[in-house]
Amino acid sequence: MIELYRNSVQSWEIDMMGHMNVKFYVEKSTAALAVLGHYLGLGPDYTRNTGARLIPVDHHIRFLHEQRSGAPIVIRGGVVAAEAGGIRLYQEMVNAASGAIAATFTLTATLQHAGSREARPIPEAARQRAEALRMPVPEHGAARGLQLTPPRQAPTLSEADDLGMLATWQGPVLPRMGDADGFLATDAHMGTVSDAIPNLLVHLTAEDRSDSSLGGAALEYRFVYRQPARTGDLLALRSGIKEVGTKTYQFGHWLFDIGTGEAVATAEAVAVMLDLSARKAVVIPAERRSVLERHIIPGLSA
């Protein structure tokens, strides 16, 4: 693996759980992808000359150690596979002080026109450069609680409502949520889901968890980015519980364009209930588990 990114956790990246929010893991992963593009000959000069850049279309993330404000972090990575239709790569985020792996990312990126998001083939020269960076996905980066099967057929907003999925976020794509090309940024997809979690919980338990000693932490996520949303587009998120275990629960999130009813992205995740004082996962209380189980919707895959 080669180094692709080096930075630190900023205070504004810390969420109500006291650790770096999932949105910023994705932001840093996407930044590392841009640097990898440079090593493949697909960097800023290529984008300026051709109008195309690497864009993630499928993102698997495992969160292994929470990161607090001020933590120094490095992302290193390599290429798992490179074909004309896209590049699959692996990244891992490491705390530069402790050496502990904070998170792993396995993602597929395609070459897309920056203005239209039209797919372009990966040039042969880039695929040849990728051979020098070839590596397998290590065991600690492999999927654990999720199945990385081919994405489901894209759902529609009406399908989500028919299934009884819950409305958890709604609003426009604000300029601050957009990328350099005016589309919903990759990390903003995750930011929308993260912002929606309190609404999901209040739907399920009628509790305001803002002052609770219990919180939650994601262990694993998969995002499938299906079609671009532009700044100003109106989006709606639908969420639901997929499965409940002793300490973990799984949920699904489907993000839609309100105007067309088509899916912008689909996601699924594994999370735990977190004791915010001990910073440890706890057994889900029986009464809370029974509430969650009543709201299970099978098949909420990405």
Asked if residues 91 and 77 have their Cβ atoms less than 8 Å apart, the reply is yes
Encode pLDDT of 25-62 as tens digits.
999 999 999 999 999 999 999 999 999 999 999 999 99
| Together in a domain, 121 and 208 | no
Give residue 91's pLDDT: 98
**Taking residues 110-131, what's their average pLDDT?**
97
Query: Does residue 72 surpass a pLDDT of 90?
Result: yes
Give residue 207's pLDDT: 63
Instruction: For residue 210, count other CB atoms closer than 10 A to its CB.
Output: 8
Q: How would residue 169 be classed by pLDDT, with cut points 50, 70 and 90?
A: very high
Q: Which residue has the higher pLDDT, 201 or 68?
A: 68
Query: Does residue 22 surpass a pLDDT of 90?
Result: yes
| Together in a domain, 210 and 115 | no
Query: Does residue 236 surpass a pLDDT of 90?
Result: yes
Give residue 18's pLDDT: 85
Q: Which of 142, 166, 181 is the last residue of a domain?
A: 142
| Together in a domain, 131 and 164 | no
| Together in a domain, 102 and 167 | no
For the chain, the domain total comes to 2
Q: Which of 142, 176, 199 is the last residue of a domain?
A: 142
Q: Which domain holds residue 209?
A: 149-302
How would you class 211 by CB atoms within 10 Å of its CB: exposed for 0-12, middle for 13-18, buried for 19 or more? exposed
Encode pLDDT of 126-139 as tens digits.
999 999 999 999 99
| Together in a domain, 155 and 300 | yes
The DSSP call for residue 13 is G
Of the listed ranges 163-167, 205-209, 229-233, 286-290, the least confidently predicted one is 205-209
Give residue 274's pLDDT: 75
The DSSP call for residue 293 is H
Give residue 198's pLDDT: 87
- CATH code for the domain of 108: 3.10.129.10
Q: How would residue 302 be classed by pLDDT, with cut points 50, 70 and 90?
A: confident
- For helices 22-39 and 186-205, give the axis angle rounded to 10 degrees: 160
Give residue 278's pLDDT: 73
Mean pLDDT of the chain: 93
**Taking residues 148-164, what's their average pLDDT?**
95
Q: Which of 119, 142, 165 is the last residue of a domain?
A: 142
**Taking residues 88-110, what's their average pLDDT?**
98
Query: Does residue 206 surpass a pLDDT of 70?
Result: no
Query: Does residue 266 surpass a pLDDT of 70?
Result: yes
